[in-house]
Amino acid sequence: MPVEKPAPSPNSKAVPGGRLDPHAGLLPSGQYDASAASDDELLSRLASGRGRETALPELFARHGERSLRLAARILGDFQAAEEAVQDAFVRLADKASLWRGDASFNTFFTRLLVNICRSRRRRGHDVLAKGQNVGTPSRVLGGLAASSRITEVAKRLRAEEVRQAVHEALEALPEKYREVLVLRELQGLSYKEIAEVLEASLDEVRIWIYRGRERLRQVLEGREV
Amino acid sequence: MSEPTLPPAPSGNPGAPGEPAVTVTEADAVLLSAYLDGELSGDEHRAIEARIAAEPPLRDELEALTAGRRMLIGAENESTSLLHPSQTFLAFGKSKLANAAPGELPVAPALKPPRMRRTLLVLGAVVFALLVMRGAGRVLRMLAAPERSAWQMTAVSGTWQVERDERMVSFENPAALQVGDRLYLDHLQTATLESPGGAVCTLEGYAKVRFQGSGGLFVEEGLLQIEAKDERAAADLDKAVRTPDGAVNLRGAGRLRVQVTPAAARTGG
């Protein structure tokens, strides 16, 4: 259990901007128990300029691997994802001062990580297949139902092939569609949280998620053809 | 992320051959996608459920979205078991993260150069230092004012040469001699040198003389006549003129003739 001696604070009740008490987790002995604090309390502690030695490792232990999966899906590169996550946690200590208590740790940190991933992807290895805009206006359904087609695709491919095909299809999606799908399907964020992370409106998130799903399906069906 | 239960399908045979195709707009599909995620408001939720029950194409679209979603989540769950963070990544949170300076990016520790590379680097540094020292020495010598010999050449016939700083330098007329110069005269030349005290040395014919510090004159080869008009002049010569055989002493006023051959030195007076 990481324990640190708390910094002296004459007025721990005063929490500006509606932030959580940065002294949450203080033990009666005066020591600080990071594992007893919530994510937001740890973020609040970081925002107050304390707890770097305990709050950061605790948050990393709680969210490191989940963040790694998110970064891996956005970047399409596991090693680059590890670097991005490490980068995000180091920067979190600095960026925490920008937190105003209006977003959860999950939203705040995910936004930071997504921005780092975007930056790395654009700087280094943007492999987005431009020109794969297949368009999704109204469709006419008839004959074999779409659900049957996608299910047939899955049946014909072995599990490993399905996994590979899905990830390649995800990789081929435009950035914003890939991001919303990863945040929604793989990270389980709500539309509201996604909107906060991507700094978009709820309506945009709705549309992007649908279009992402639709394009993913088209890419997979195209692969089968 | 549980999926909503689909409303019951209407009776009949929708979508059968011969029936007109039904269009599903993107707006409908967006609503279905959000319905699948449980992200519709109460009114939207009830409205779309009613339409799904009434419109088979919407039901098909919803099933397609559901199948695609299952495929994506299933693939990710499959992958999750295969993704193992590296030891470096895991260790990062335990040690480096707590100690990283604000704004510092996590970087791999600097690699130590191989032993051969280090050796070459050290050798290179030593060679460089020597070159610098040698160059500095040369520069210092160039900058330092040359030490003039106490002897002045007052007359000389023809062109005469001195070896100075490992180079041969030619002069037409008498010029200041420097400590370290080696004077060369050929067999037809004569030269007159004068010390500060008034002693006069005359070189006749082939000669090789080196000028040394503190008024020293080292005759390596040739015929040298020395004349001191008084004791002061004689004092300039005391132990100042030397040959391979030894110093020349002239006590008081007088003359001295010195003949030096390369093999042996002969003196007479």
A132 domain-assigned: no
With pLDDT > 70 as the criterion, what percentage of chain A qualifies? 68
What interface predicted TM-score (ipTM) does this complex get? Answer: 0.71
Nearest-CB residue to A145 (from B63, B83, B85): B63
pTM: 0.52
Tokens of A48: 């107050």
Q: What are phi and psi of B9, to 5 degrees?
A: -75, 145
- CB–CB of A159 and B106 under 8 A? no
Residue of B6, B45, B84, B97 to mutate when probing chain A, most A C-beta within 10 A: B97
For residues A111 and A180, membership in a common domain is answered with: no
- CB–CB of B76 and A69 under 8 A? yes
C-beta of residue A220 within 8 angstroms of C-beta of residue A136 = no
A107 domain-assigned: yes
Residues of chain B under the 70 pLDDT cut: 1-22, 78-83, 96, 98-117, 141-145, 239, 262-269
A119 domain-assigned: yes
For residues A45 and A111, membership in a common domain is answered with: yes
A192 domain-assigned: yes
Instruction: Please report where in the chains the tokens 């210092």 appear, as a residue.
Output: B140
| Average pLDDT score over residue span A119-134 | 52
In chain B, where the domains are located: 26-80, 152-268
Which domain covers residue A163, as residue numbers? 146-224
A160 domain-assigned: yes
C-beta of residue B199 within 8 angstroms of C-beta of residue B227 = yes
For residues A108 and A153, membership in a common domain is answered with: no
- 3-class SS of residue A195: helix
For residues A95 and A186, membership in a common domain is answered with: no
List the single residue in B with minimal CA-CA distance to A1: B94
Give the per-residue pLDDT at A75: 87
Q: What integer best gives the mean pLDDT of chain A?
A: 74
Give dist(CA A15, CA A23) in Å, integer.
10
- 3-class SS of residue A124: coil
A43: left (phi over 0), alpha (psi -120 to 50) or beta: alpha
Give dist(CA A216, CA A222) in Å, integer.
10
CA-angle at A168, arms to A167 and A171, nearest 5°: 85
Largest CA distance in chain A: 73
B116 at interface of A, judged by CB pairs closer than 8 A: no
Give the per-residue pLDDT at B204: 84
* CA nearest neighbour of B200 among B250, B159, B166: B250
**Could you report the per-residue pLDDT of A87-108, keeping only the tens digit for each?**
898 888 888 888 777 788 889 9
List the single residue in A with minimal CA-CA distance to B55: A141
For residues A155 and A97, membership in a common domain is answered with: no
* CA nearest neighbour of B175 among B218, B207, B146, B208: B146
For residues A32 and A78, membership in a common domain is answered with: yes
B210: left (phi over 0), alpha (psi -120 to 50) or beta: beta
B223: β partners: B204, B259
Cβ-count burial A70-79 (b if 16+ within 10 Å, e if not): bbbbbbbbbe
Residues of A in contact with B91 (CB under 8 A): none
What DSSP string describes chain B? -PPPPPPPPPSS-TT-TTSPPEEE-HHHHHHHHHHHTT-S-HHHHHHHHHHHHH-HHHHHHHHHHHHHHHHHHHHHHHHHTT----HHHHHIIIIIHHHPPTTPPP-PPPPPPPHHHHHHHHHHHHHHHHHHHHHHHHHHHHHSPPPBPS-EEEEE-S-EEEEETTEEEEESS----BTT-EEEE-TT-EEEEE-TTS-EEEEEEEEEEEE-GGG-EEEEEEEEEEEESSHHHHHHHTTTEEETTEEE---SSEEEEEEE-SS-EEEE-
Read off the CATH number of the domain in which A19 is found: 1.10.1740.10
Give the per-residue pLDDT at B14: 46
B16 at interface of A, judged by CB pairs closer than 8 A: no
Within A20-77, strands assigned E span: 32-33
Distance of CA B239 to CAs A128, A185, B218, B227, Å?
A: 95, 106, 10, 15
A140 domain-assigned: no
A174 domain-assigned: yes
For residues A151 and A118, membership in a common domain is answered with: no
For residues A96 and A188, membership in a common domain is answered with: no
- Kind and range of the H or E run holding A4: strand A3-4
Give the per-residue pLDDT at A150: 61
The better pLDDT of the pair B130, A29 is held by B130
For residues A114 and A153, membership in a common domain is answered with: no
**Could you report the per-residue pLDDT of B32-76, keeping only the tens digit for each?**
999 999 999 999 999 999 999 999 999 989 998 998 888 888 877
For residues A8 and A116, membership in a common domain is answered with: yes
List the single residue in B with minimal CA-CA distance to A66: B80
Number of structural domains found in chain A: 2
- CB–CB of A56 and B85 under 8 A? no
C-beta of residue A55 within 8 angstroms of C-beta of residue A39 = no
A158 domain-assigned: yes
Q: What are phi and psi of A174, to 5 degrees?
A: -60, 150
Read off the CATH number of the domain in which A204 is found: 1.10.10.10
| C-beta neighbour count of A5 within 10 angstroms | 10
